[in-house]
Structure 1
Amino acid sequence: MKRSHIISRWVRISAPWLFAAAVVAPAASAAPPLSEIATSEQFYQMALEARSEGDYGTMLARLRQAATRGDLEAQEMLASVLLAGPALYGPKVKADPCEAMHWAHLALERGSATGRHQWMVLNGLRDVPRIRKDCRPPPVYR
């Protein structure tokens, strides 16, 4: 039998099994989502890495994940980022004084001097009464 016939016969016999293994294997070994396995500190570190790479959209998402899980430094930084908005971080990061107020208040409740300063700055804004009426609790980020 010629070598090409042996290879083609092997392909005909093995191909369905190889295809099935290729389709089933990734589904069986799918890793759990990052949000289930990463700690708040890991999300905060990923946010810092994204900031150093200039990926501010990812930075904001990771900060929210870390802050939601209770990381104090992430809460402080998130309030700062949301106060500065596009002035420092470009169009992917919108300034949001309502959400900044939320994170600053959480940090303040935990005894953060940075959170206290941010809270004082936010309370010193002229349009805070209007902002407070319009503010709703921010969504839960996972």
Structure 2
Amino acid sequence: MTSPDTATAPPDITEGLLRHLVRERFPHLAELPIRLGARGWDYQVWRLGGELALRVPWATRRADEPLRDELAWVPALAGRLPLPVPRPQAIGEPSARFPHAWMLTTWVPGEPADHAPATDGRATSTALAAFLLALHRPAPAGA
């Protein structure tokens, strides 16, 4: 049985597809190298050059609204967080080649926490706690 979130999975996400999408939406970035950064539960993240990334939904059809919410709210939140987070730059709209919105963000260097074991448990837990405390605030009006 197929869940509503995956009923219309996007096409295979390849470097060629992403190059086409970038060329259509951001032609000035079309010649930058593209390579896979990470596959998450709902999104894939692809590096675009050295400073940018493409966040592309691959396992959900409800990606458009969350990406638009991120574009609206993450830039305001990012400045008050003690750790760097990808900052949304722009949305790529659904097209004939790809049926969902996708996002251009900044690239944050480093290893995903689930790929790099914590060697200093106290420092790691302190950093995580500080991040969660900074994030856990009442939502701004209109959110």
Whether TM-score is above 0.5 comes out as: no
Choose 1 or 2 for highest CA Rg.
1
TM (norm. structure 1) is: 0.23
Q: Which structure is higher in strand share? A: 2
* Higher-helix-fraction structure: 1
